Amino acid sequence: MIEENLDEDAEKLLRETFAKYVDNELIPIARDIDEKDEFPQEVFKKLADMGAYGLRYPTEYGGSNGTNTMFCIMCEELARGSMAVAAFTAMQCLMGTNFIFAHGTEEQKKRLLVPALKGEKVAAFALTEPDAGSDLMALSTSAKKVDDGYIINGMKTWITNAPYADFFTVLCQTDKSKGPKGLNFFLVEKDTPGLSASPKFDKLGTLGTWTSELAFENCKIPLENRLGEEGKGLGNLMRILAEIRTMTAALSLGLARAAYDASFRYAKERVQFKKPIGKFQAIQMKISTMATEIEASRLLVYNATRMIDEGKSCMKEASMAKYFASETACRAADEATRIFGSYGYSMEYPVQRFWRDTRFLLFGGGTSEILQVIIARELGLGK
């Protein structure tokens, strides 16, 4: 009981710290980040100084030894302020650095992981390909083993942080005949000959976080840059997939809260027919539905995070959380634009940004359609 109370106190303090930062520093510049669509270096460094990137890692590498629940609390609060900032923070904290922490050499950790947690290097995760998204077995980027290393050829796309990342965790096919056991992760640094990044994509949302393609043309890396045992790449991905999904669900929860907060304030301020529009049942029903779905999302998200912290398997719970929370964020943002009416169509108000940013949440961590299939399978259907 004492230990549980200590965890609750730490979680409360963490939430208060990041909520204060979001309210006082991030929300005031969120529109500027979106409109400029430039990587916000000062924000990136500020979050490093706050210990954001090392939150879920051990103190020996400069981290805080925090729980997955604490990590998702931080992600939720940051997404409430700026989805772009939350997206590159999540990449730096989890996908971009997890494999080097779990499977890298001590030299690699000291040279790359520790500086990344300090905000001195930027990390990225390269999974998706032009012809392979949900279907990982369709991956064609290859890593051919030679005497003193691997030679990588292929293409990756929709890679967050790619234009300015210092190192990449890349999923490659080493032997297609082995099926899932032919998939392996590799560490590739930005200065590797043959590696190139395309110009950033022009996107609908999450502006301020740059995304682009990566091309690998005979990129030679040393043997020690394979992250994990031969043939264990897909299994190692599955081990952190629940964390990726709960993180994305937490981002969704934060954005849904932002849409709700803006809608609630506007419903009290906007007057039509001589009274605030919040007095009309039609608006009340929208607001109450948003609040209910946000609360349900919160329960799903933090049920899954605590299962992860307790070492329990939670593929079903994490998939449910991501599916429901991301759809909740989309509905909340859409309803916000309706509550704002024509002003929801104006770039002056943030609800248009919330609506644009929700599209990102539908794909990261698995599409809603894929997640529904996974949930059904976990329930015992389709086996």
Please, what is the angle between helix 233-269 and helix 281-309, to 10°?
Answer: 150
Question: Which residues make Cβ contacts (< 8 Å) with residue 381, sequence separation at least 6?
Answer: none
Mean pLDDT of the residues in the chain: 94
Claim to verify: residue 61 and residue 130 sit in the same structural domain: no
Domain boundary among 75, 93, 117: 117
pLDDT 10s digits, 163-206: 999 999 999 999 888 888 899 999 999 999 999 999 999 999 99
Per-residue pLDDT reduced to its tens digit, 332-351: 999 999 999 999 999 999 99
Give the pLDDT of residue 365. Answer: 87
Closest CA to 363 of 333, 326, 334: 326
Q: Residue 174: give its domain's CATH number.
A: 2.40.110.10
For residues 356 and 327, membership in a common domain is answered with yes
Q: Which residues does residue 189 pair with via DSSP β-bridges, in sequence order?
A: 167
Asked if 220 and 173 sit in the same domain, the reply is yes
Which residue range(s) make up the domain with 269?
241-379
Number of domains, the chain: 3
Question: Got the DSSP string for 123-138?
Answer: EEEE--BTTBSS-GGG
Phi, psi values for residue 186, rounded to 5°: -135, 150
Q: How confident is the model at residue 4 (pLDDT cuts 50, 70, 90)?
A: low
Q: Per residue in 103-162, pLDDT tens?
A: 999 999 999 999 999 999 999 999 999 988 788 888 899 999 998 999 999 999 999 999
Q: Are 175 and 142 in contact (CB under 8 A)?
A: no
Each residue's pLDDT tens digit, 266-297:
999 999 999 999 999 999 999 999 999 999 99
Mean pLDDT of 227-253: 93
The CATH number given to whatever domain includes residue 85 is 1.10.540.10
| Domain-ending residue, one of 206, 233, 260 | 233
Check whether residue 372 and residue 246 sit in a common domain. Answer: yes
Tokens for 116?
């990344």
